[in-house]
Structure 1
Amino acid sequence: MPPPGGYETLKYKRNLPFRGPGGAVMVAGVAAVCAFGFWRLGLGNIEKRELKRENIWSRIYLTPMLLAEGDRDAYRRQQAALAREKEIMKDVKGWEAGRSVYHGDRHKPDQRIVLL
C-alpha cells in the first residue's frame, strides 16, 4: 500500500539552463566586430599612405642638401689629402702635390670631385 500522504510528485519537466544568446545575436555581433575591424583597417591604410607620401616628399626636399653635404665632405677630404701629400713629399725635389703621376690620359683616375 502507498505510504500515508501519498507518494512524492515526479519531476518530469525538462530543466535546461539558459544557453546564451541566440544565433541571430551571435551573427550580428560577429558582423559588428568585422565592420569595426574593417573600419580601423581603412583608417590604418589612410595613415600608412599619408606617412609614405610624407617620407617621399621629405626625401625629395632633403636630396639637394645631402648632395651638397657630400660634395663639401669630398672637397674637405681632397684638400686634407693634398695637405698630407705636401707634408709627406716636401723633401722630394720636383714633386708637385696634387699633380697626376700619369703622363697620359689612359691610366687617369676618375675626376668626379667638383671643386667649389
Structure 2
Amino acid sequence: MEYVRGKQDLPPPGGFETVKYKRSLPLKGPSGAVIFGTILAISGWGFYKLGQGNLEMRELEREKIWSRINIVPALMAENDRDIYRRERAAMARESEIMKDVKGWQVGQSVYNGKRYNTPSMYVL
C-alpha cells in the first residue's frame, strides 16, 4: 500500500474568529433593589391599612358598648314589666288553686325575711 500524501487541513487565511466564552445573557426582570423597594412599599401600605382597620374596629366596639349602656334602662324597665305581669298571673293561679283552703292569703311570702327579692326563676 502506498502512502498518499494529501492536503493538510489548515486554518483559513487570517485565522479563526475568537471563541466567545463570556456569558452574554439578557437582563431578566428588575434588580434586587427594585424588588426590595416594592416589597417595602407594599408592606408599608398594608400596615397602614391594618392600623386604619384597627382604629375603625376600636370605634365600632366603643359604639357598641355605649349603645348597650344606653339601652340598659329600657331593658330593665321591660324586665320589670314582665316580672309584674308574671307575678300577677301567678297570684291569679294561686287564688284559683287555694280558694278552698281557710286562712290562706294569696301573695303572702312563705319566707320570714322583710327584704324584697326579685324572683330568679319563672315557671312558664
Q: TM-score range by the shorter chain?
A: 0.7 to 0.9
Aligned residues with identical type, % of pairs:
57
What are structure 2's unaligned runs of at least 5 residues? 1-8, 119-124
TM normalised by structure 1 equals: 0.77
Distance in 1 (CA, whole Å) between partners of 2:54 and 2:63 is 14
- Worse-superposed segment, 17-26 or 32-41: 17-26
Is 1:19 aligned with 2:24?
no
Per the alignment, do residues 110 and 80 of structure 1 end up closer, same or farther by CA in structure 2, a change over 3 Å counting?
A: farther
TM normalised by structure 2 equals: 0.72
For residues 64-103 of structure 1, the aligned pairs below 5 Å read: 64-102=73-111
Distance in 2 (CA, whole Å) between partners of 1:99 and 1:10 is 116
For residues 1-116 of structure 1, the aligned pairs below 5 Å read: 1-2=9-10, 10-102=19-111, 105=112, 108=113, 111-113=116-118
Per the alignment, do residues 24 and 4 of structure 1 end up closer, same or farther by CA in structure 2, a change over 3 Å counting?
A: closer
The number of residues matched between the two structures is 109
RMSD of aligned residue pairs (Cα, Å)? 2.5
Q: Which amino acid aligns with 1:112?
A: N
* Larger-gyration structure (1/2): 2
SS at match of 2:28: coil
Distance in 2 (CA, whole Å) between partners of 1:75 and 1:44 is 46
What are structure 1's unaligned runs of at least 5 residues? none
